[in-house]
Structure 1
């Protein structure tokens, strides 16, 4: 089972290695990136090729980065490939641009590939996926609205006071173990860490149906999600009595039982 996990107050992660919750102490970040929060998701500003101040969704749930074809301002890109865009509404072929440069604060990435997708909104210019986060440990601080990028091998980072969790990669999707507690029974699963999701904690359809979760929790409504191609999907929202995450208990949490079979 892979689900989307609600964001926490302070998140620090190395893609492919681990997650910890704490402060860094004496380690000096490679760059500090201010961010804004709109509709529960994180946006940062970056430079692509010669175009500066592009608004990117910071998305730990995306393994590739994207340029939005509906954006008012778009960088100068060469379309030189094709790729498959896989989402909750299915898979489709889209254009791709390779060999680009992106500046993320003081960090420069070269030979960057962007998938080109029309999100049918000009609210943002692109998506920063985990392909641009690898090689760094980064700390998302919701108190100061800053993302601090540290070099992965920084010797000044101490992990002694940190809560540490094993990080799973499911098709390059970062996830951690957690449990739902319903009527005294535990339902263990792998929960995705998706900073690009603005919805509720979402349970994947195959797991929800196999465990008959909809009938075991109180239905409190429904929610509509929109795919990258504009298609809509409606799913029930139920109230989970207890979620056990990293030894902590969260009570009466609304969760969405996905009806999608892909993504």
Structure 2
């Protein structure tokens, strides 16, 4: 997406959960499996990871806001983190006790936003560029973003029951979801009874909480000139955490985001999107069997 040469590259894999995983090394560890998460404000170390035993430094308490609730976690600032060709010294890391089988850690925004980054799902690489305003061709969809709760949000047009809504949505590559609409927005527009769910999902987040989502089909999702019909989104019923907030409308997970190669200009606060080889893939396999 950018003609100039990157200053670093991070190879990644897309797992069956549609999320991005990279190999990392922390404080002299062996290879670790890290989730790439634009919905996490910080790099995270999984305190239940056997590979990180004895390598997590002491820290201080900090607040943590997750999808379904809030809690306090320990945070250290003196970590050595290597991901791809990128080396971070004195990296800040939150300590969160995920189940050990999930991942060893999370590669969050304080690591990603040290550069302008291109997440290229065709090449399976994250390209890192100097943090200066980039020149991007007009053919890419440009979405300005703003920070709320320390993570990026964009406006996206979604049509529901024939009505077009301009929604403020979190950009969350760390979620395996498609597009989830927050409980206050769902209740305000009386949406729960307007569409029959094709499935019910239970979710868990970094705060340790969980909740229920009603999976439904949205009429359309509009990304610049691209009109995507019958997108499998969801209505939230959560009453705690990010999806209970009234000043935001929901979140975009990587099951949607992976359909576009994505350039994040952290200097100009702009997100650029370009459809890729995943654009026409099914949202859920069971819907096409």
- The list of structure 1 runs, each at least 4 consecutive aligned residues, that deviate by more than 4 angstroms after superposition, is none
Distance of aligned partners of 1:89 and 1:163 in 2 relative to their CA distance in 1, 3 Å threshold: closer
**Counterpart pick for 2:100 among 121, 131, 156:** 121
Unmatched tracts of structure 1, length 5 or more? 1-22
Distance of aligned partners of 1:90 and 1:230 in 2 relative to their CA distance in 1, 3 Å threshold: closer
Which one has a larger percent strand, Structure 1 or Structure 2?
A: 1
Deviations 1:181-228 (A, max 9, x none): 134321221122111001231111111111112233342221111233
Higher relative contact order (CA 8 A, sep 6+): 1
What SS is found at the alignment partner of 2:31? strand
Q: In 1, Cα distance between the equivalents of 2:142 and 2:207?
A: 37
Normalized against structure 2, the TM-score is what?
A: 0.76
Q: In 2, Cα distance between the equivalents of 1:188 and 1:158?
A: 27
Is the contact between residue 182 and residue 216 of structure 1 (CA under 8 Å) also seen in structure 2? no
Q: In 2, Cα distance between the equivalents of 1:249 and 1:160?
A: 20
What SS is found at the alignment partner of 2:165? strand
Instruction: Establish whether residue 32 from structure 1 lines up as the match of residue 9 from structure 2.
Output: yes
Instruction: Establish whether residue 111 from structure 1 lines up as the match of residue 90 from structure 2.
Output: yes
**Counterpart pick for 1:134 among 92, 113, 116:** 113
Instruction: Establish whether residue 213 from structure 1 lines up as the match of residue 191 from structure 2.
Output: yes
What SS is found at the alignment partner of 2:50? coil
Normalized against structure 1, the TM-score is what?
A: 0.83
Instruction: Establish whether residue 66 from structure 1 lines up as the match of residue 44 from structure 2.
Output: yes
Unmatched tracts of structure 2, length 5 or more? 243-289
Is the contact between residue 118 and residue 229 of structure 1 (CA under 8 Å) also seen in structure 2? no
Is the contact between residue 158 and residue 221 of structure 2 (CA under 8 Å) also seen in structure 1? yes
Q: In 1, Cα distance between the equivalents of 2:145 and 2:210?
A: 31
How many residues align structurally? 238
What SS is found at the alignment partner of 2:48? coil
Q: In 1, Cα distance between the equivalents of 2:85 and 2:205?
A: 33
Alpha-carbon RMSD across the aligned residues, in angstroms, is 1.9
